[in-house]
Chains A and B, each alone.
Chain A
Amino acid sequence: MRKVVEGSYAIAQAVKCCDPDIISAYPITPQTHIVENLSQMVADGELKAEFITVDSEFSALSALVGSSAMGARSYSSTTSQGLALMYEVLYNVSGLRMPIVMTVANRAMGAPLNIWNDQQDSIGARDCGWIQLYAENVQEAMDLTPQAYKLAEDPDILTPVMVCMDGFILTHVYEPVEFLDHDKVKQFLPPFKPKITLDPAHPVTIGAFADPSTFTEYRYLQQDAQNKALGKIDTIAKEFKETFGRYYGGLIDTYRMEGADAAIVTLGSVIGTIKDALDEMWAEGKKVGLVKVRSYRPFPVKALRDSLKDVSSIAVIEKDVSIGNEAGLTTDLKAAFYNTGMKTPIIGFTAGLGGRDITLKDIKKAGDKALAAAKGPEAEFEFLTLRKEIL
């Protein structure tokens, strides 16, 4: 069924089809509509789940730690300051190997106070042990939701997943989307059957101490699960395609990379604009391609090396900055190349911070700089759309 709905409603519809047992969230712009729609679905009897209203994001995710320990499929959604308030619990969830799925409606981190989109919030939480998948559009964010549960609950993975979608740009846009069919999702995503839960008949302790003799191994197993997820993400995406007919690539996707001299690497909703910019560049004889990062954690090192091996230079455009260094995707990509023979110049651009538009002109500028870097001196990381006149 194809319908024009708000992005947030579409996500709520996708979550509903996943039959979560427990939902807990605290309102925060621009996530609010997602959870409001879910609470309405619960109230209307469309969704047989408990919706736990709480006093903070910290409480929301903590409540899910409890419900997940009971073996309940658990869902939350947040953004920005809310995600930051969850920081302590993020590690708890991943360390306890709880397959919680959370939609992050990406938004800037204050100060200064700002409610608009960038990706500083989730990129800043990249080391917390959660899988992070980034959606280009509402349909992809919807489709990623059951895929995220399937991945998270896989006995080899047991790792929480953030489905990241750009706040306002995707959460508040009205566009036609194909609704998920509840019965088909049920076939695609079997019921959650955890191996270990709290059970009065078989008492266990969850959350116990690990002293120096075992702590490293717990971390190693988390790392190992993320590595295994590298393989599973594409497998699950292809299974999804078999059932629903839609496929967005596995760990990464590419556009106009065949015969490209340079590439732009990015994640999130800016990809649509980049594709338009690249069409214009190719018409001008400038061969710049695109690599879309769908999975940021686990970081698809091999897939990125393979897809970028033939270009002479790379521009990364991302909506975050590692204040004091460059930015998340840029530094990760550079690290991915270091222990190889690849000496391709990589220029990082931070753009779209706090909701500033990234225009076709901005993207072409980054593309031009990448093309120039292949021939001349390497450019360094920069703020792509800096208003120098107000500094």
Chain B
Amino acid sequence: MNGSKSPSGSPGVSSSPSTTARPGTSASLATSPNMNPRELGTYTKNTWCPGCGNFSILSAIQTVLASMHDEGYPLENVVIVSGIGCHAKISDYLNINSFYSLHGRTLPVATGIKLANPDLKVICFSGDGDSLAEGLDHLIFAAKRNLDITLILHDNRVYGLTTGQYTPTSPLGFKGKSTPMGTEELPMNPIELMLVSGATYLARGYTHGIDLLRKLFRDAIMHKGFSFVDTLQVCVTYFNMYETYNKRVYEVQGNDASSFDEAMKIARSWDYNNMEAPIPLGKFYDIDKPRFDQVFPGYEPHPVDRDAKIREVLDSLI
């Protein structure tokens, strides 16, 4: 029951990187970027449990950022924002501008950063306990506003840092430390929620399918608008779902990502509760819509000579 299988041993992920590559996706993702992704690591001691799905997310984002660097994107223009939880330590482990925010408050901080400098690429990492519980209102509003930022959800469906309580995506009957008799709530379907809330890019990845994960992360980061990648991540210590996921996941093919109804159908095909149903991965939705950051076109926070302005106004009145 531990995550000992190699990533290539994920039977459900049907497609290899070469067959999933498509126009607009950097080919360098399938191979190695010129910049060694390890250069984006830090010297901070990593305290995630061995086998944690967070390692895949870290590795995937390092590769994506390295490939962006290779293509000339200045990485100093990238800002990482995380919340509180095991996921949040990613801010410590990525050698990129980063902000470690309060529990649940990843998105308000990211909103402020993006609006203060819309030229930045803002990438949020958040947990299911972080953004779907204490910070849920922020998630809905980020989607509603279609702000041009990306949220990568480390969806392990358990509170790992506080050692094993249920979260909004834990299945009904989940026996966590705060619910020894099993939860009495049905899980939330975050993709369905994001779709109706106004998000313009929706995808689901799995930490045992790193190539797809890299592709989706890159795609989401390049998307103009609010992009959300629900990343099924396994908590090896408190909720090990490797075997279930490995049997159930498959990548959607040929779907019309511009169709709300089709996206909804895919999103609803797995309700986070049924352990027998196939679990779709891949891009579900991708549309263009006016963005919140467009409301502030060309705003440049340059210092203003207030005295000169006041003199100007006074002169005009004389």
Most B CB within 10 A of own CB, among A26, A51, A81, A110:
A26
A74-105: CB near B (< 8 Å → 1, else 0) gives 00000001000100000000000000000000
Nearest to A39 among chain B residues (CB) is B178
The answer to whether B183 touches A28, judged by C-beta atoms less than 8 angstroms apart, is no
The answer, yes or no, to whether A201 is at the interface (CB within 8 Å) is no
Q: Which residues 93-127 of B sit at the A interface, judged by CB distance below 8 A?
A: 100, 102-104
**Hey, which chain B residues are within 8 Å of A81, CB to CB?**
84, 102-103
Q: Tell me how far the C-beta of B178 lies from the nearest C-beta in chain A, rounded to whole angstroms.
A: 5
**Hey, which chain A residues are within 8 Å of B163, CB to CB?**
32
**Hey, which chain A residues are within 8 Å of B185, CB to CB?**
53
The answer, yes or no, to whether B136 is at the interface (CB within 8 Å) is yes
B140-184: CB near A (< 8 Å → 1, else 0) gives 000000000000000000010111011010000000011111010
**Hey, which chain B residues are within 8 Å of A56, CB to CB?**
104, 133-134
The answer, yes or no, to whether A322 is at the interface (CB within 8 Å) is no
The answer, yes or no, to whether A235 is at the interface (CB within 8 Å) is no
**Hey, which chain B residues are within 8 Å of A85, CB to CB?**
134
The answer to whether B168 touches A55, judged by C-beta atoms less than 8 angstroms apart, is yes
**Hey, which chain B residues are within 8 Å of A27, CB to CB?**
159, 162, 165, 177-178
The answer to whether B162 touches A29, judged by C-beta atoms less than 8 angstroms apart, is yes
Q: Tell me how far the C-beta of A113 lies from the nearest C-beta in chain B, rounded to whole angstroms.
A: 6
Give Cα A26 to B129, complex, Å: 11
The answer, yes or no, to whether A161 is at the interface (CB within 8 Å) is no
Nearest to A28 among chain B residues (CB) is B162
**Hey, which chain B residues are within 8 Å of A277, CB to CB?**
none
Q: Count residues of chain A with CB under 8 A from any CB of chain B.
A: 22
The answer to whether B104 touches A40, judged by C-beta atoms less than 8 angstroms apart, is no
A240-255: CB near B (< 8 Å → 1, else 0) gives 0000000000000000
Nearest to A53 among chain B residues (CB) is B178
The answer to whether A39 touches B103, judged by C-beta atoms less than 8 angstroms apart, is no
**Hey, which chain B residues are within 8 Å of A35, CB to CB?**
178
**Given A28-B162, A29-B161 in contact, is the A36-B177 Cβ separation under 8 Å?**
yes
The answer to whether A39 touches B179, judged by C-beta atoms less than 8 angstroms apart, is yes
The answer to whether A55 touches B136, judged by C-beta atoms less than 8 angstroms apart, is yes
The answer, yes or no, to whether A43 is at the interface (CB within 8 Å) is yes
Give Cα A231 to B290, complex, Å: 64
**Hey, which chain B residues are within 8 Å of A29, CB to CB?**
161-162
Nearest to B134 among chain A residues (CB) is A56
Q: Tell me how far the C-beta of A35 lies from the nearest C-beta in chain B, rounded to whole angstroms.
A: 7
**Hey, which chain A residues are within 8 Å of B134, CB to CB?**
26, 55-56, 58, 85
The answer to whether A39 touches B133, judged by C-beta atoms less than 8 angstroms apart, is no
Q: Tell me how far the C-beta of B85 lies from the nearest C-beta in chain A, rounded to whole angstroms.
A: 11
**Given A29-B161, A81-B103 in contact, is the A53-B166 Cβ separation under 8 Å?**
yes
Q: A43-B180, A55-B168 are in contact. List 9 more A-B contacts (CB 8 A).
A: A27-B159, A29-B161, A32-B163, A36-B165, A39-B178, A43-B181, A53-B178, A53-B185, A56-B104
Using CB atoms and an 8 Å cutoff, list the residues of chain B in contact with chain A.
84, 100, 102-104, 133-134, 136, 159, 161-163, 165-166, 168, 177-181, 183, 185
Using CB atoms and an 8 Å cutoff, list the residues of chain A in contact with chain B.
25-29, 32, 35-36, 39-40, 42-44, 51, 53, 55-56, 58, 81, 85, 110, 113
A–B complex contacts, Cβ < 8 Å, 22 sampled: A25-B178, A26-B134, A27-B159, A27-B165, A27-B177, A29-B161, A32-B162, A32-B165, A32-B177, A36-B177, A36-B178, A39-B177, A39-B178, A43-B180, A44-B180, A51-B178, A53-B178, A53-B183, A55-B134, A56-B104, A110-B102, A113-B84
